[in-house]
A = this chain, B = another copy of it.
Amino acid sequence: MNRSDLFQQILKKQSFLCVGLDSDWDRLPSHLKSLEDPIYEFNKVIIDATKDLVVAYKPNTAFYEAMGPKGMASLKKTIEYIPEDIFVIADAKRGDIGNTSRLYAKSFFEQYAVDAITVAPYMGSDSVKPFLEYDGKWVIILGLTSNGGSKDFQTLELQNGHKVYETVLSTAATYGSADDTMFVIGATKAEYFENIRKITPDHFYLVPGVGAQGGSLEDVCKYGMNDQVGLLVNSSRSIIFASDGANFGEASRDKAKALQQTMASILQARGMV
C-alpha cells in the first residue's frame, strides 16, 4: 500500500488507528483454548470486530514466535485473514548485516506478505536498505521508543549537538524516503513530537504507547500530525484484552470505537474530513 492509498484509507475511515495483535497465549479467553488454533481464532474475532474502525493491524512477532513453529503458522493465517485494504505491520524489530536483512525482508514480505516491518537502527544503513528494495513495502525504523530503557542510549547527547535519536531520524531518513520509511515514535514523549516533525516533516510515525503505556492521543496529534495525518497510533492490550469473557470481540470493538471517534473529532476539527 502506498502513502497516498494509506492517507485515503485514513480519510475514508476517519481513523488512524492501528491495533496491535499482541495475542499473548496467557491472556487469551479460556473458552478459546480448546480450539485447534486459539491464537488465530482470537485474532479472527478481534479483526471482525474492529476492521471497519482501523487502518492497520500490527502483530508483534514475539507473541507468535513464543509458541514455536506453530505460532508462526498462526501468524501467517492471521495475516491472510486481514482484509486487503488494511495495512499490516510485522512488529519484528529486526536488523542485521545486509545479506541477512535481505533474508528477513524475504521472510516478512514474501512468506508473510506484510506491508511493513519494524527494524532497529543500531547496525546502520546496510541493515535497513534491503527492506527498501521491495516496491510498495515499508520499513518502520525505531526512532524514539516509549519504554524506560529509551533513556539509556536514544536520548544521549552527541558531540554534533543532537541527541542520538535525532541523528538516527535525520540519517535513516536518507536511506529511503517518506514513501517507504516510517519511524516509531513513543507517545509517552508527546512534547518531543514538535522537534521530531522538524527533522522529518513528511514521514509517517507509528506511535505506540497510547493506552496501556499511558500516552495521550490529543497531545500526540497536537504536536505530531502533518497535512497527510502522518500518524498511525497503535493500541494493543487495552483493545484486544478489554474483556476475557465470551464478549471479548464486542469489548474490543467498544475500546477501538472510542479511540476512532476521538480520531474522527480531531480530523474534523482540523478540516481534514
Q: Which A residues are within 8 Å of any B CB, using their own CB?
A: 22, 24, 60, 62-63, 65-70, 72-73, 76, 91, 93-98, 100-101, 103-104, 106-107, 111-112, 120-128, 142, 145-154, 156-160, 164, 167-168, 171-172
Contacts and interface: CB of A to CB of B under 8 A. Distances in A.
Given A97-B145, A100-B22, A107-B65, A152 B164 contact: no
A98 B66 contact: no
B68 A111 contact: yes
A124 B151 contact: yes
Nearest to A213: B97
A67 B76 CA distance: 12
A62 B104 contact: yes
Given A93-B96, A98-B147, A147-B97, A66 B171 contact: no
A18 to B, nearest CB: 16
A103 B149 contact: no
B69 A93 contact: no
Nearest to A212: B99
Contact of A125 (B107, B148, B167): B148
A147 B70 CA distance: 33
Contact of A154 (B73, B124, B157): B124
24 contacts: A60-B100, A62-B94, A62-B103, A65-B72, A65-B103, A66-B104, A66-B106, A66-B111, A67-B107, A72-B72, A93-B120, A93-B123, A98-B147, A120-B123, A122-B145, A123-B142, A123-B154, A124-B153, A125-B152, A126-B149, A153-B168, A156-B167, A158-B158, A159-B159
Contacts of A104: 62, 65-66
Nearest to A156: B158
A101 B91 CA distance: 12
Given A157-B159, A159-B158, A164-B164, A123 B149 contact: yes
A63 B103 contact: yes
Contacts of A72: 65, 68-69, 72
Contacts of A106: 66
A48 to B, nearest CB: 24
Given A68-B111, A97-B145, A153-B167, 14 more contacts: A63-B100, A65-B103, A66-B104, A91-B96, A93-B96, A120-B123, A122-B142, A122-B154, A124-B149, A124-B151, A124-B154, A126-B148, A156-B167, A157-B158
